[in-house]
Amino acid sequence: MNTKKNIGVLGLLGLVIMIQLLTHWTGTQYYLTQLTMSAYYSLVILGLCVLMGYAGQISLGHAGFFAIGGYLAAALTTHDLTPYSNTLIIQVLNRCGLLIQGQDIYGDVLLYFNPWVSCILAISAAALTALVTGIPVLKLKGHYLAMATLGFGTIIYRIVLASAFFGEADGISDVPPFTLVSGIPGLPVIEVSGDFSGRVQNYYIAWSMVIAGTLLLLNLIDSRVGRALRSIHGSEETADAMGINTARYKLKTFILSAIFAAAAGVFLTHFNGGIGPSEAGIMKSVRYVAIVAVGGMANIWGALTMGVLLNFLSLRGIFGTYDDAVFGLILILIMLFAPEGILSIRIRQRLRNAFSSSTSEIRGGESS
């Protein structure tokens, strides 16, 4: 099992490098931009996959967590703090090196949050929101859970759309780069930004996050906790009778998936240099659910494959003005004809037959 998992992750790493080299040789580096964005969206989808596929809880509000991450990162790194620079808290923060200084076009000094600080604050805020909303929301099931998460997503959307702090309908632009590494001798400055020259670098930043995320989640699913999550999906009542604190596990998974979404939001916002309200919209949430469903629900690799593929196609504008309609149609078709996801229909069956002599390591969890 472990070797199989590691081979998968190594294969992914190889593929990522190969694609970069391929774009380099063929002079199609412009694909890297969309591949980077797809990678960040896939991070949201990976987290949601564990929540929906393994713990069995639907969320129609995950764009909300993405938006909390992205918008807070954007707002904290773009709003000038100089008007408050006399207050104690700002002075303390400044003293601790948590703020950075900039200049506006007239040469006046501006004061912002360090992106590292805003990143941590944004992700913590999303985790905290998930904790506070998750406690009551996850008590619900079925339609009620779907509506409650939809309601949560709508509220976040309304807040970003109506607050001047978040730029209302225009969103927030001119978000500065997020410097990950600088000042280390021998190493170039590594920063998350949409800067043309940093394209290759950013492609690798995004994909290392995806690879790390995939590995972490695969580990989780293979562990004692993963078994507990799958048993909750199988039968919540029975899991409870086996001593599994189902409420707590559902909540922790909800928070974990919110952290993935928020992290994706933070990084993609720095990469794009801004964020707009459509990122918080219901359609985005539905899109994430659709991709998890197409990937086969309880299937990390499927979710990742579909997450990259569909987001890439969508970002390349393949679907034109029918973008949302395509995702609606995908949802319906998948749920009508292949509720286990398209990757599971035939291929899985064949693989199973092919391996049936040595099936001992093929996981039943993927067959349901």
- State the virtual CA torsion across 326, 332, 335, 338 in degrees, nearest 10: -60
Helices then strands, counting H and E runs in the chain, come out as: 14, 6
Residue 8 binds other proteins, judged by CB under 8 A: no
Decide: 130 and 252 in contact? Cβ < 8 Å: no
Q: Looking at 226, 276, 302, 307, which residue binds other proteins (CB under 8 A)?
A: 226
Residue 314 binds other proteins, judged by CB under 8 A: no
Residue 87 binds other proteins, judged by CB under 8 A: no
Query: In terms of CB distance, is 136 or 186 closer to other proteins?
Result: 136
Residue 95 binds other proteins, judged by CB under 8 A: no
How far apart are alpha carbons 79 and 267 in whole angstroms? 18
Residue 331 binds other proteins, judged by CB under 8 A: yes
**Per-residue burial over 317-351, b = 16 or more CB atoms within 10 Å of its CB, e = otherwise:** eebeeebeebbeebbeebeeebebbbbbeeebeee
Decide: 42 and 307 in contact? Cβ < 8 Å: yes
Query: In terms of CB distance, is 24 or 141 closer to other proteins?
Result: 141
Residue 329 binds other proteins, judged by CB under 8 A: yes
Least Å distance, CB 335 to other proteins, is 5
Residue 89 binds other proteins, judged by CB under 8 A: no
Q: Looking at 290, 306, 310, 342, which residue binds other proteins (CB under 8 A)?
A: 290
Least Å distance, CB 334 to other proteins, is 8
Least Å distance, CB 2 to other proteins, is 8
Burial of 63 (0-12, 13-18, 19+ CB in 10 A): buried
Which span (92-100, 104-112, 123-131, 213-221) binds other proteins, by CB under 8 A? 213-221
Residue window 22-61: x/- pattern of binding to other proteins, with contact defined by CB under 8 A? ------------------------------------x-x-
Phi and psi torsions of 235, nearest 5°:
-160, 110
Least Å distance, CB 114 to other proteins, is 26
Query: In terms of CB distance, is 42 or 285 closer to other proteins?
Result: 285
Q: Looking at 4, 141, 316, 346, which residue binds other proteins (CB under 8 A)?
A: 141
Query: In terms of CB distance, is 175 or 232 closer to other proteins?
Result: 232
List CB contacts of 362: < 8 A, sequence separation 6 or more.
351, 352, 355
Q: Looking at 130, 228, 291, 308, which residue binds other proteins (CB under 8 A)?
A: 228
Residue 107 burial (CB count, 10 A):
6
DSSP H or E segment with residue 197: none
Least Å distance, CB 105 to other proteins, is 32
Query: In terms of CB distance, is 5 or 194 closer to other proteins?
Result: 5
Query: In terms of CB distance, is 67 or 290 closer to other proteins?
Result: 290
How far apart are alpha carbons 30 and 281 in whole angstroms? 27
Residue 98 binds other proteins, judged by CB under 8 A: no
Residue 128 binds other proteins, judged by CB under 8 A: no
Query: In terms of CB distance, is 110 or 220 closer to other proteins?
Result: 220
DSSP H or E segment with residue 344: none
Residue 346 binds other proteins, judged by CB under 8 A: no
Residue 183 burial (CB count, 10 A):
7
Query: In terms of CB distance, is 80 or 240 closer to other proteins?
Result: 240
Least Å distance, CB 349 to other proteins, is 13
Question: Which runs of consecutive H residues, i.e. helices, occur in 27-141?
Answer: 30-49, 62-78, 88-95, 115-137
Q: Looking at 7, 96, 162, 345, which residue binds other proteins (CB under 8 A)?
A: 162
Number of residues that bind other proteins (CB under 8 A): 77
List CB contacts of 300: < 8 A, sequence separation 6 or more.
46, 49, 50, 214, 217, 218, 221
In the region spanning residues 244 to 283, those forming contacts with other proteins, defined by CB under 8 A, are 244-246, 252, 256, 282-283
